[in-house]
Structure 1
Amino acid sequence: MGPGADWSADAQDHRQTIGVAIRVPAPFGPLLQAKRAEFKDPLADLIPAHVTLLGPTVIHQVARPALVEHLEQVSREVGPFPMALRGTGTFRPVSDVVFVQVARGISGCERLEQRIRSGEYAAELTFPYHPHVTVAHDVAEADLDRAFDDLADFRADFDVEEIWLFEQDAAGQWRAVRSFRLTGEEQTR
């Protein structure tokens, strides 16, 4: 999950870091998370395999109901869509990241990301939105190369039927806390 906005109140109490993502389902998600650990990524055990829609964002707990309402609205606007993950890509040399590529479902991800990151949740992005599943980040160059090569033939197909609200705990662990079923009539291919 990438950088997001800070919509917190002045009080430092009751702030929560959240994110919104598409979970990569089993057996693919656990496999990619295990591979991320194999590539020595220090965040492998803290972040389940996912496609980010709204990166880490600090909100005040009083803003949570409005966020939930916003995500419910978005999920009523967009319908389920197929996703295909194929092979690897990288952001090098700009960023030391190797990822599994979204080969089908890009427009669905973009549509969700644009709707989620709107209104009071609009934020300037460091990089243009590019849906992907990170498998190695800020690791040694040899591990980045190994990740790129080892997963070059990776393939996964599944339907995106829901988006997830994640929370980060004090230890840095990201936990899926609520799903929002995509029920909209707008189909994305």
Structure 2
Amino acid sequence: MVIAIAVLALLAVSLIIAKPQEEEALPASSVPSANASPAVTIEDELELSRLFSVFPAPVMSFMGGSGMTFVSATCADAAVNGGFGRIATLNWQTSEGAPVKLRSIWPADALSLLEDGYHFMPYAGPALFGSNSVRMENDDAVRIHVATDQALYAVLLPRSLAAHTSDICRSLQLYSKDPENQ
């Protein structure tokens, strides 16, 4: 009992004496800044360039000839880390009508903007934009995500398409408002 009291006293004294360390200044980020912007909704694939122009990083989308059918897209701000982030969501369908959702999230470290309820798989996802992706699943869906230096990208698809994730990921490309960066 005496030892327990001595340990608690020592712990209390060390906490009182300890000085909190100041946070190190973060280096200037090479990530582009963005100003808050109104939400954008796109119903026609030909208008995607309007969505690309309001997103501060390249947006993930399917390449032409991928066999996917465009349904709709939105781009909106979301609260993150005491500021805001931006999420571009593109909804597509396979030729069989299965939904495939593509999410581009800025900034790249805004993992809190990914959907909850998924668990890690014991194996990596397919390569996506030159990096190994993370594969997560729940009872109904598969999520593949990867972070680049500019944004976080997530592919969400029903479990019925789980065996086709590599094929789907090979059909994806990053598009930006600057045609030279595509």
Please classify the TM superposition score into its range, dividing by the shorter chain length: under 0.3
Q: So what's the TM-score if we normalise by structure 2?
A: 0.22
Give the structure-1-normalised TM-score. Answer: 0.22
Q: Which has the higher contact order (CA 8 A, sep 6+)?
A: 1
